[in-house]
Amino acid sequence: MNKKNIIAGNWKMNKTENETEEYIKNLIPLIEGSLSSVYLAVPFTSLKAAINLTENTNIIIGAQNMHDETEGAFTGEISAIMLKAIEAEFVILGHSERRHIFNEDNSFINRKVRRALKTGLQPIFCIGETQKEREESKTEVVLEKQFLEGLKDISKKDVLDIVIAYEPVWAIGTGKTATAEIAESVHSYIRKLIHKHFDAKAADTINILYGGSVKPSNVEELLKQENIDGVLVGGASLDYKIFAEIVNKS
């Protein structure tokens, strides 16, 4: 497959606006020649500064979450329209921290994915099993359920705009990375799910990212795998030098 890899940083609840500006100014010259697409998911309060600073660069800025409704009495929430209006380009949906800490279920995530697509925001749709589910050999069942329910009622055409991230919960922020073999075998399963439930074009077009303790020392091995089309990086994206190293190894 010859699609461009996507290297996406997820800052989570980190960095003020000033820290965002400093990071991005430092990052830009370090990754100028990158062959991959570089995405940064920053906090809502940093979006505007990040978008302004990355104009005419190879860095694409997006959000880490949104609500599925367009407006209304949802205190503390942000809508897809608001994100689109400040020119955010993508949004992470279904991240395991949203699923497990904030109890988001597949049907809520599905409504968000459909809303993002309708609004012209690219969803990075995350799925992944817990340690217990893996130990009980339920990985494929869990992923298929998240996949089918999260992507319910999405057309073969619209699904082409989605990025899928496989993020085993046991590997997020734990320092434990799935071996390249484990990740590849799950990615190949996800590719088959796309083929089965959408079509060959979707299976070929959609980038499937791996996420879970990615760092400069393991990114190359992961990206060598046939079905890994990029990485979603949490902790290691917080330092611009380390993130640049990951981008430049991709």
Tell me the closest approach of the beta carbon of residue 172 to ligand PEP, in angstroms: 4
Identity of the residue, 99 or 203, whose beta carbon is nearer to ligand PEP in the bound complex: 99
| Residue corresponding to tokens 């809508």 | 79
Residue of 67, 95, 104, 187 marked active site: 95
Q: How far apart are CA 156 and CA 167, in angstroms?
A: 24
Q: Are 244 and 200 in contact (CB under 8 A)?
A: no
Nearer to ligand PEP, 63 or 232 (CB): 232
What residues between 153 and 212 interact with ligand PEP by CB under 6 A? 167, 172-173, 211-212
Q: Is 228 in the site for ligand PEP (CB under 6 A)?
A: no
- Which residues have C-beta within 8 Å of that of residue 124, sequence separation ≥ 6? 8, 39, 41, 62, 90, 91, 92, 93, 162, 163, 164, 165, 209, 232
167 an active-site residue? yes
Phi, psi dihedrals of residue 237, rounded to the nearest 5°: -90, -5
Look up residue 156 and give its two tokens: 């073969």
Is residue 128 within the footprint of ligand PEP (CB under 6 A)?
Answer: no
* Least separation in angstroms between CB 161 and ligand PEP: 20
245 is catalytic: no
User: What are residue 60's DSSP bridge partners?
Assistant: 39
Question: Per CB under 6 A, does 214 bind ligand PEP?
Answer: yes
| Total number of residues that touch ligand PEP (CB under 6 A) | 13
Question: How far, in Å, CA of 70 to CA of 61, rounded?
Answer: 21
Q: Which one is catalytic: 129, 133, 167, 245? A: 167
Instruction: Return the active site residues.
Output: 95, 167
Which residues contribute to the site for ligand PEP (CB under 6 A)? 10, 167, 172-173, 211-214, 232-236
